[in-house]
Structure 1
């Protein structure tokens, strides 16, 4: 969870790649290496603040047909009341009843998504409860900051004496990061057996509703051994992805959590975004990034789009470009982000008179818009370029990434023998030839036309000749071809 202004609580996103199997050693043989923690495979999408009914419908109409493997939901638990997005990150009970819908609607969503071939990953807020002194939650639960009926009493929380107000002030202090309060949020003592079993009971309930795995919110603020102990109480093979934001010189780093599952790799977007804004792309350095198998990557998420993300939905073609390059990469598990437009960074999604979020669908959306009204869904998951790049990624499979080439502002690379992508973040047209081992011929541009199963619907093609793919790129344009994207296919 990010360090935002007081009262906000934070977050983001979810999961992936197939887990590697390990085998136990015997006394007669060297001990085998431990298997990699279980993860969920494929491309994910975080559908931020989308009601359960809206996500369920979108799984059938868009996510499944586009090839998404899983969807990350906002936290499914009772929270404080209010219109701000961050109210969802201040739990007051573990009842699955919130501004996003009821438990029955949540279960129906999971069923609908499963039928469409899409698994559901839930955002789990287990580091803390609310920062409010007292009140009544969305579903009617009365609480005080350190007392929650049937769950926790004051003895179940850290009461930090390391700082004057009990909140984190020094991120180089492990003790402060993991026992003091994050912007005043009541910090659960996850070293306590009672707290661990209570959290595990909630997560098991969600698994019983059909959830496939969890994003662990604010994992950085819990000792890695505590997170591991909670996960151990869950059924074997439950995948988790921890939110651990890397900070220079900070005491807690993402690598501590990779033995539990994957982690969200924030460095990826921190390197890609500024390059796009500067109009100069180059091969990634992978400095300070966790190994690919341990990483879930993103261009932005619900936290960073309100903070340090260099590229967001407001950047139109550059945002499309960033997501396409992420899907084309051979590093990490990609997570697309789909939120809503806002002017006020605290603003939640539009709510009805009953306080429930009003759902939206993405029918008719095929590309980024130039402008969005506040509260309007961005619908990234419905862009034909995203579906085209998921197809591209499937075609590339495990092919390694070849070194990139540049011409002016244009940049491109091949996934060896399988697929080629080129992008021009500059302000003028560029021509770029990318070395490739694809056979000669014309190929459909799956960025311009979307998936190529029915040929080049819009007629956009890229010519491959004599070991070169020749791209004619307008300013801000991205184009991509793959081995199965010939017009006659």
Structure 2
């Protein structure tokens, strides 16, 4: 929900009171949110990530936390999501899913409508993927708890792949011959695979300095090409915009910056060039030719079946003819 603002107005003109937990436009009231008692801390905020109750019942960086176990709260969420489905939306990314109880999400997802037959086949269910940051570092909430509810982000995929392409100690390309579940990753049919996302390309979330981004085009292209050719998970391609990085002490002081804007804070249009690149500081990783070539020829299985791991840091994939 909303962050640390006393009284504000939403984009549709409805007002809310953060302090009193009053959101009349929904409506939500104080009884619809977790309290210090249900959270278990005096501050009402997460203080211990090794405590699952705190992770899921307490406020994250000051954001009001709805109690999704309440039927009324579930009903309002389902109502909103189903309205979007009626508009033609095909699915949903569940941000910060680790801060929600899986059993509550299961109830909400089960009540979603099938996708609109104006755009999709009958009885097509919404596509759902859940963002669960889990680096196997001993936190109380793990990605494994969200199996069976939709795809799950596999953050270890991109961070490990980045470490290999960066030639970190003992991280060799020849080890990729069984990249996937044998590495402790989620089952392939439940995983969302990605090289980077909007958070960790800015140093947030997970992966640290191992994450590859468009700022390192050569290594990044190789990693994305491998992801698209390798039969693990559902690959997700990033599409970014540039910002002026200002790295001090290992942290980017400009990581907060939003998309390219003009002097009046209007978002700049995407300018597309014949060479598949973009202008106005839009990166458009998704338009690069090698991705289009892979997708057009439907040869991913052929490529990976015939991949040759020739040496310590050399892997070969045959060309599509």
Common fold: TM-score over 0.5:
yes
- The alignment status of 1:320 with 2:198, answered yes or no, reads no
| Counterpart contact for 1:306–1:345, Cα < 8 Å | yes
Contact 1:160 1:180 in 2 (8 A): yes
Query: TM-score, normalized by length of structure 1?
Result: 0.54
Corresponding residue for residue 148 of structure 1: 23
For residues 148 and 267 of structure 1, the distance between their equivalents in structure 2, rounded to whole angstroms, comes to 38
CA drift at 1:278: 1.5
Q: 1:404 to 1:174 in 2, by over 3 A?
A: farther
Q: Tell me which residue corresponds to 1:178.
A: 56
Distance 1:209 1:325, change over 3 A: same
CA 1:158–1:271 in structure 2 vs 1: closer, same or farther (change >3 Å)? same
Please report how far the alpha carbon of residue 241 of structure 1 lies from its aligned counterpart in structure 2 after TM superposition: 0.8
Specify the alignment match of 1:255 in structure 2: 144
CA–CA distance in structure 2, aligned partners of residues 380 and 364 of structure 1: 14
TM-score by length of 2: 0.81
* Structure 1 CA distance for aligned equivalents of residues 277 and 270 of structure 2: 16
Q: Is the 8 A contact 1:299 1:311 kept in 2?
A: yes
Question: Relative to structure 1, is the Cα distance of residues 292 and 402 closer, same or farther in structure 2, using a 3 angstrom cutoff?
Answer: farther
Aligned with 1:314: secondary structure? coil
Give the Cα–Cα distance (whole angstroms) in 1 for the partners of residues 80 and 262 of structure 2: 28
Q: How many residues align?
A: 284
Who is 1:136 aligned against? 9
Structure of greater relative contact order (alpha carbons < 8 Å, 6+ residues apart): 1
C-alpha deviation, 1:202, in angstroms: 0.8
Is the Cα contact below 8 Å between 2:192 and 2:234 reproduced in 1?
Answer: yes
Residue in 2 that maps onto 1:200: 78
TM-fit CA distance, 1:136 = 2.0
Write out per-residue CA displacement over residues 417-446 of structure 1, whole angstroms, 9 at most, x where no aligned residue.
xxxx2xxxxxxxxxxxxxxxxxxxxxxxxx
| Secondary structure of 1:336's aligned partner | coil
CA RMSD of aligned residues (A): 2.4
Match of residue 195, structure 2, among 293, 299, 317: 299
Moved more, 206-215 or 354-363: 354-363
Tell me what 2:122 maps to.
none
- Determine if the alignment matches structure 1 residue 265 to structure 2 residue 154: yes
Greater share of residues in strand: 1
Aligned CA distance change for structure 1 residues 132 and 395 (closer, same or farther; 3 Å)? same
Contact 2:229–2:301, Cα closer than 8 Å, also in 1: no
Aligned with 2:195: secondary structure?
coil
CA shift in 2, pair 1:360/1:411, >3 Å: same
Alignment partner, residue 385 of structure 1: 290
Kindly state the Cα deviation for residue 199 of structure 1 after the two structures are TM-superposed: 0.7
Unaligned runs of 5+ in 2: 115-124, 246-253
Gaps of 5+ in 1: 1-127, 413-420, 422-479
Structure 2 match to 1:91: none
Q: Provide Cα deviations, 1:32-74, integer angstroms capped at 9, x if missing partner.
A: xxxxxxxxxxxxxxxxxxxxxxxxxxxxxxxxxxxxxxxxxxx
User: SS where residue 341 of structure 1 aligns?
Assistant: coil
What is the deviation of 1:400? 6.4
| Mapping 1:3-82, distance limit 5 Å | none
Deviations 1:157-186 (A, max 9, x none): 112342342211211101000000111111
Quote the Cα distance in structure 1 between the aligned partners of 2:70 and 2:306.
49
Larger proportion of helix: 2
